[in-house]
Amino acid sequence: MIIKQKIKNAASIEFRNFKSIGMGVLMILAFLGCKEKQQDEQTTSDLNGPFIVQSLAAETNFDAYGRSGELIQHGITLLVRNEDKEPPTNAKGEVMPVTVSFEVIAQPDGANMELFTGGEGSSTATDDQGRANVGIRLGSSAGVYVVRATLPDFFDSVDAFITIYTEGITSKLTVLPFDPVSVDEPLQMQVRATDWLDAPVENANLLASFVSEDFPEIPPQTFEGTSEGDGIFTFNLQSEYAAKQWLTIGDESSEFTIEEEIAFLPGTVSSLEFLPVENPRHQPPYDQTTVELRALDNFGNIVPMQGVDWSTSTGNVKPISPSEGTSAAAHLNFEQDSIAQVTATFEKLSTSTRVDLPGVYLRPVEENDYAFVGDSFRVQVEVFPSSGGGMAKALSVAVSSPGEAAEFVSATDHDDMIPPVSTSTDAEGNLRLTIEKMEVPLSEKTPRLVVTELLYTCLNELEACLEVMSGDIVIQRSPNRNHALHPGLRYCRPQKERREKQLCLNFCLVTKPGGKTFAQLKTLAEAEVAKAQQHFDNNIANCCPKVKIKACYNNLTWREYRPIVNGGAKPGKLEGGIWKEGGNSTFNRNDATKDAWKLSPELKNLLKKCRKANCNPVYMVPEVFHKRGRWYKGWAVTISPNDFPETTGAQNSGTGIIMTAGLDVNNNVLIHELGHLLIDLPRNEDGGNEHKGIRDRKRFMISNPKQHRQNFSAEECSHIWSNIDSYNGDCN
């Protein structure tokens, strides 16, 4: 789905809704037009806007309290301010009144909440300080009431949402003191639910769920509270992850939530494992390295520990301070043998690792991590004879072929003392490097000879892996002796397409108490990203160079999200009709001078969340309701940047993708919406409609959510490549 709008000219709105019907998918496609702007409409260009409606504490979403059936004491006072915290003023600096409208958007069934503004209907004008007051009489039913305050004359304003709690409704949750525990046992936590009068809420329905910052991949965990009386509820929390985690606790009845940070400790050590060991030949003195050990509990958490016993089959090993992410470490020093078997023992657990001291080392010359397809990379061949001095007389080394990944070009002489090597291919297909005659003195301790530099040309995106298959050196010691060089080395050079571009997506995942957890939503979002990345990779022939998706994942809590979309069919549920109500619903294709359609306040406020420079936000919301109460299980929309008319005070003019958590990843919805975002046809190209004229079922931009879509056209890729630099940021 796409929405396209024009800043000064006309624009189109297009949306696609997917509603599950049995085993099939229903698609609804609509075009909505623009209405002509009234000449007397006040705009932010007349005053010092855009404006924000907020509380005296500068909050756009805030709580209030009152007794059912009674007036809220002192009423509610709101401020209208611009981004510089100034009241509405004209060009002369005079404070100007603006109209503030109040609307009841949620209340208990059968309640009849009343608003008193002192003005016409439910509207009032701000005073000379930019303030507006509203009196509120709550309905006779206890519950949660929500009021929205808007500036009807300013489409780019930010609304305020006031959530009002009555007596008998949870509006405060207090976590009682608790002791930390390890992952081996449950953590018992008690929470007290009270109303705004501090009276216990006995009938609260408390749920708790984890969101981990250290381990966002933590699987879903939701817990129910057990009532102990007097508003006290007990949770038995269990986690397999030793990490700081945010526990979201909420009452389903009032939708009031809090967050509590919890840190589970690692459990008892159940296994030991070594980390990969850096090759001793990597840096001077070329015969030493560090071995690092992790102690893990039953759930794979790293456990800090002391008292590890170290041993080695050759040389010596001494304990050192471990680095972050490890449990213990030791320094290994080789002596004569080329293979060391290092053993670590802790209590009754023991593990070993093999460390090779190769006689031939392949050192990359280029410092960058990758070699590019079509370019070259170099590898320095270094020989480490056994210590003891003497004269090197001859040399032979066999290096495996990298196969189809790269092609050998040449071997150059790198050291004045060493004659040029001759190259050949042996019977096994290896590159054979030979020096038949040489006179090179060797040092007594750790001699090192840089014998040549190999040059390869990259052929494709595979890894070019080189392995030392064998080596021999003749050393003149009375008499001459042929010394085998321990191979023990494999080197791989990753390769990639040259001009890879990054597409930054900043996911905003809405967590709802009792609904999908952050971990579940992140898994869904990651699957969408992986699918989209797969399609970008498969379209290199058209879209070459490559597009690499950089995705970050953020939690938008229910407490933050609910006030934003409280104008929906039900509190906390976004409406399918995200455009602003009113006006002509026929798209004017003939007059490009008409004013743009205006987005709904709900969408406008949502687009302010999760913004990062040069990064497109993707909002994954729990559900979307049509204005007539129908639920869309799978729904997606893209706000295209080319024609977007309204500023949200955020990066990239408020573009974004909104999708529900019920979408099927196999429908390729994200890649389709990214197509709208990046292709972004201007209004003079097919009316800005990326669907128009597409009949090929293999095309991503066909307006039909089927699983078999698989490619972009070359023209579409050209647009993608032209626009993608707007989204090359880093969302970290």
Pairing of strands 490-493, 481-484: unpaired
* pLDDT tens column, 472-515: 999 986 566 778 999 878 899 887 655 678 999 999 999 887 77
- Please check whether residue 176 is in contact with residue 192, taking contact to mean a CB–CB distance below 8 angstroms: yes
Query: Which has the closest alpha carbon to 579: 605, 595, 604, 598?
Result: 598
Distances (CA, A) of 294 to 46, 181, 300, 358, 405: 65, 21, 10, 25, 35
> Is the confidence at residue 40, as pLDDT, over 50?
no
The dihedral built from the CA positions of residue 508, 512, 516 and 517, taken in this order, carries a sign that is: positive
* pLDDT tens column, 278-317: 999 999 999 999 999 999 999 999 999 889 999 999 999 9
- Separation of alpha carbons 569 and 582, rounded Å: 17
Q: What per-residue confidence (pLDDT) applies to 489? A: 85
Q: Which residue has the higher pLDDT, 519 or 589?
A: 519
- Separation of alpha carbons 481 and 475, rounded Å: 6
Question: Mapping DSSP to helix (H, G, I), strand (E, B) and coil, where does residue 367 land?
Answer: coil
Distances (CA, A) of 679 to 159, 640, 658: 32, 9, 17
The dihedral built from the CA positions of residue 89, 92, 93 and 96, taken in this order, carries a sign that is: negative
> Is the confidence at residue 718, as pLDDT, over 80?
no
- Please check whether residue 513 is in contact with residue 250, taking contact to mean a CB–CB distance below 8 angstroms: yes
- Separation of alpha carbons 631 and 107, rounded Å: 21
- Please check whether residue 259 is in contact with residue 248, taking contact to mean a CB–CB distance below 8 angstroms: yes
- Please check whether residue 113 is in contact with residue 138, taking contact to mean a CB–CB distance below 8 angstroms: yes
Q: Which two tokens stand for residue 726?
A: 């707007």
This prediction's pTM: 0.58
> Is the confidence at residue 332, as pLDDT, over 80?
yes
Expressed in angstroms, the distance from the first to the final Cα of the chain is 28
CB atoms near residue 322 (< 10 Å)? 20
- Please check whether residue 187 is in contact with residue 180, taking contact to mean a CB–CB distance below 8 angstroms: yes
CB atoms near residue 288 (< 10 Å)? 16
> Is the confidence at residue 211, as pLDDT, over 80?
no
Write the CB contacts of 613 (distance below 8 Å, at least 6 apart in sequence): 651, 652, 729
> What structural domains and CATH numbers belong to the chain?
2-35+514-727 (3.40.390), 51-153 (2.60.40), 280-356 (2.60.40), 360-487 (2.60.40.680)
The amino acid at residue 388 is G
Q: What per-residue confidence (pLDDT) applies to 639? A: 66
Q: What per-residue confidence (pLDDT) applies to 293? A: 96
Half-sphere exposure of 282 (CA within 13 A, CB side): 10
Query: Which has the closest alpha carbon to 253: 193, 343, 334?
Result: 193
- Separation of alpha carbons 91 and 98, rounded Å: 15
Burial of 336 (0-12, 13-18, 19+ CB in 10 A): exposed
The amino acid at residue 18 is F
Q: Which two tokens stand for residue 245?
A: 């985690």
State the chain's mean pLDDT as an integer: 80
> Is the confidence at residue 625, as pLDDT, over 50?
yes
- Separation of alpha carbons 707 and 710, rounded Å: 8
Q: What per-residue confidence (pLDDT) applies to 274? A: 97
Q: What per-residue confidence (pLDDT) applies to 17? A: 32
Q: How confident is the model at residue 428 (pLDDT cuts 50, 70, 90)?
A: very high
Sheet holding 360-364, edge to edge: 360-364, 376-383, 449-458, 406-413
- Separation of alpha carbons 58 and 79, rounded Å: 8
Write the CB contacts of 517 (distance below 8 Å, at least 6 apart in sequence): 209, 210, 211, 220, 221, 222, 511
